Amino acid sequence: MICLGIESSCDETSVAIVKNGREVLSNIVSTQIPIHKKFGGVVPEIASRKHLTNISFVVKEALDKANLDFKDIDYIGVTYGPGLIGALLVGVAYAKSLAYALNIPIVPTHHIEGHIAANYLTYESLRPPFMSLVVSGGHTHLIYVKDYAEFEIIGKTRDDAVGEAFDKVARVLGLPYPGGPEVSKLARDGEFTYKLPKTKFDNYDFSFSGIKTAVINIAHKEKENLRREDLACSFEQTVTDELVDNCMRAMKDLKINKVVLAGGVSANLVLRDKLQKATKERNYECYLPDLKYCTDNAAMIASAAHYNYICGKSFDIKDKLDLNAVANLKIGE
């Protein structure tokens, strides 16, 4: 079965062709980062307009690269939430029209299910159940993936997502958008010398607003005496410790011995390294997505859509013409 996947929830217009949920025939990502960089973050209105001007070309490029035609596509997978509403609407409207015109099923897919599925593209033999540590610009969740289309939230951030915290810390340190990779690069030259607050709750929730405020306060207090590399390093070390510690505690308590990392922040090398070490010490299985599938892309959406399709979540768009995008779509609730 051949899926054409569409992702437009934030600042990447992406279209992919994926066979049977695992084999990527093409994955085109047209990034808008250089445009938004000037503004220090994503400008939603500009993102929507850029998706609209890009999408037809990205679809054509994905088909050409896969050496396929529209008639070879069996169904369409599309991110319908969560994300920037104007950005999502472009992908959803395009997918609805294409599914109608080609008379093939549509599979609206949750963006985070896509991030988790990035691991199915990386590991041929990976199957649920497993724990997933989801770390992105909008999410920090511990999700128990019971089956391909069955998700239970074990814990989540009570305020900022970890990627959001990276981006805000980058701004304070005068680094460009997107901040995560920049903070990480700066941290390589630093030492863990600043003591920053770590949170721990009775359940498995996270919180990153305290550390973000602490970083801002240190930066304002120390001004020109600030050791930027050390602050970046201390921040990265503290948040990655918090993520891994919480995840290990949940896995131990719930007797789950397999973990899958997902979301844009899974590209962070310190986090990958710590998760690998912690799981090795405990004899747990650890899965890290291929770096090319960590940040937003449509191949991961097509993979997740495939499993939703198999689980009966596809439909004929003519039966549901009012399909809409949902900016704050929840997972597993």
Hey, is 19 helix, strand or coil? strand
Hey, is 17 helix, strand or coil? strand
What is the separation of C-alpha 104 from the centre of its chain, rounded to a whole number of angstroms?
27
**112-151 b/e (C-beta count within 10 Å ≥ 16 → b):** bbbbbbbbbbbeeebebebbbbbbbbbbbbbbbbeebbeb
Among 3, 265, 299, 317, binds ligand KG4 (CB under 6 A): 265
Residues 255-274 touching Zn ion, rule: CB under 5 A, are none
**Minimum Å distance from CB 136 to Zn ion?**
5
**Minimum Å distance from CB 116 to ligand KG4?**
11
Number of residues interacting with Zn ion: please give it, by CB under 5 A.
2
Among 119, 136, 140, 234, binds Zn ion (CB under 5 A): 136
- Asked if 119 is part of the footprint of Zn ion (rule: CB under 5 A), the reply reads no
**Minimum Å distance from CB 73 to ligand KG4?**
25
- Give the C-alpha separation, 157 to 177, whole Å: 22
- Asked if 11 is part of the footprint of Zn ion (rule: CB under 5 A), the reply reads no
166 binds, among ligand KG4, Zn ion, none (CB under 5 to 8 A by kind): ligand KG4
Q: Do 193 and 178 touch, CB atoms closer than 8 A?
A: no
**Minimum Å distance from CB 265 to ligand KG4?**
4
Residues 92-131 touching ligand KG4, rule: CB under 6 A, are 115
Residues 273-302 touching Zn ion, rule: CB under 5 A, are 296
7 binds, among Zn ion, ligand KG4, none (CB under 5 to 8 A by kind): none
Name the nearest CA neighbour of 73 among 12, 172, 2, 125. Answer: 2
Name the nearest CA neighbour of 108 among 6, 30, 11, 1. Answer: 6
Among 5, 181, 190, 289, binds ligand KG4 (CB under 6 A): 181
What is the separation of C-alpha 321 from the centre of its chain, rounded to a whole number of angstroms?
28
- Give the C-alpha separation, 266 to 269, whole Å: 8
Look up residue 299 and give its two tokens: 């191949």
- Asked if 26 is part of the footprint of ligand KG4 (rule: CB under 6 A), the reply reads no
In this structure, what DSSP letter does residue 266 have?
G
Region near ligand KG4 per CB under 6 A, out of 22-30, 32-40, 145-153, 163-171: 163-171
Q: Do 39 and 266 touch, CB atoms closer than 8 A?
A: no
Among 86, 105, 137, 190, binds ligand KG4 (CB under 6 A): 137
- Give the C-alpha separation, 158 to 141, whole Å: 10
268 binds, among ligand KG4, Zn ion, none (CB under 5 to 8 A by kind): ligand KG4
Region near ligand KG4 per CB under 6 A, out of 20-28, 60-68, 177-185, 313-321: 177-185
- The number of C-alpha atoms within 13 Å of 90 and in the hemisphere containing its C-beta is 28
Sites of contact with ligand KG4 (CB under 6 A) = 10, 115, 136-138, 163, 166-167, 178-181, 184, 263-265, 267-268, 295-296
- Per CB under 5 A, residues contacting Zn ion are 136, 296
